[in-house]
Amino acid sequence: MNRILVTGANGQIGSELVDVLRRRHGRDRVVGLDLAPPSSPNGQREEGPYVTGDVRNRDAIEAVIRNHEVSVVYHLASLLSASGEKKPDQTWEVNLDGLKNVLDLARRHSLRVFWPSSIAVFGPSTPREQTPQRTVFDPSTMYGVTKRSGELLCQYYHRRYDIDVRSLRYPGLISYKTPPGGGTTDYAVDMFYAAADGDPYTCFVRPDTRLPMMYMPDALQATLDLMEADAGNLTVRDSYNITAFSFSARELAASIERRMPTFSCSYDPDERQRIADDWPQSVDDSVARSDWGWSPQYDLDAMTDDMLDHLQESLEV
């Protein structure tokens, strides 16, 4: 049986991607992998195959691939930007050694691979408005260094070994099912959780901080669409720029206030401000649009309404 392996399955993206893939391909066809079992007692373990494992251990990952007859890997396991500045050595090992393990196993077992990159590949010398697909890359975080190096590694394995590895540079992702895990764009999600709880929010970036963002349903759709695209149409094998919209922290607070007039946001920037200041404010994703038809569904207010509906609903349960 050809199974799909999702590493980082407990994370903000992995927890949702596993569900979507299981609905599409069948419960038993999708194997989740993470460092620890899912936290919910009724979580993915009961809903389908799940293994604990560390992507730094190539032999252990190879055993999973063999035992579960895996043919496609969505390799999401990673440390994110803010955590990465606290643990740069571990970030290199997990993000880059882990990726090389998966790519080497892709050679050995003829796997197809999806691996996400990030707007963190760009840096202070990159044009910050409508950042082009190909431009200056000078990441200022260890996370960004691993993401740009990983992009080049993917491109190299594709050119040299003909590995079908595909990648997206996700912007900041906003979702309500699983909280984010140590990124710079987490403030956008945290703001929604505070608002839904009826609490004020202290934002860790300045009100004028503007970054490219996307709602999770669009990110999942983009991931599936890229993996289903005709290989002959793909002109990018390092990683595709994609975006949905850009907003400042102040504009996000205003969008929430539109729905919840009592919500209030104050600002107390911390060390994550420096990271946000080095990232693009908006991204040009025209190559993804023309190569494989990328087009997001949600704008800022549509996302705000959907986020608040779901978060308030979960509080009522």
Residues that bind ligand NAD in the complex, under the rule CB under 6 A: 7-8, 10-14, 34-35, 54-56, 76-78, 80, 94, 98, 116, 118, 170, 172-173, 180-183, 185
- Exposure of 233 by Cβ count < 10 A (0-12 exposed, 13-18 middle, 19+ buried)? exposed
CB of 211 to ligand SER, least distance (A): 9
Strand partners, 214: 173
Q: Which of 15, 101, 146, 185 binds ligand SER (CB under 6 A)?
A: 185
Euclidean distance between CA atoms 151 and 24, whole angstroms: 28
CB 214 within 8 A of CB 172: yes
Question: Which listed residue (74, 143, 187, 298) is catalytic?
Answer: 143
Q: Which residue is nearest to ligand SER (CB)?
A: 183
DSSP per residue, 179-201: ---S-STHHHHHHHHHHHTT--E
Residue 191 binding result from ligand NAD, ligand SER, none, given CB thresholds of 5 to 8 Å by partner type? none
Q: Which of 13, 21, 80, 265 binds ligand SER (CB under 6 A)?
A: 80
By CB under 6 A, the residues from 94 to 133 that bind ligand SER are 118, 120
Strand partners, 165: 113
CB 290 within 8 A of CB 274: no
Q: Which is nearer to ligand SER, 49 or 280 (CB)?
A: 280
**223 part of the interface to ligand SER, by CB under 6 A:** no
143 is catalytic: yes
Say how many residues touch ligand SER, by CB under 6 A. Answer: 9
Q: What HEC string does 82-103 produce?
A: HHHHHCHHHHHHHHHHHHHHHH
**184 part of the interface to ligand SER, by CB under 6 A:** yes
Residue 150 binding result from ligand NAD, ligand SER, none, given CB thresholds of 5 to 8 Å by partner type? none
- b/e 93-113 (16+ beta carbons within 10 angstroms → b): bbbbebbebbbbbbeeeebbb
Catalytic residues: 143
Footprint of ligand SER (CB under 6 A): 80-81, 118, 120, 143, 172, 183-185
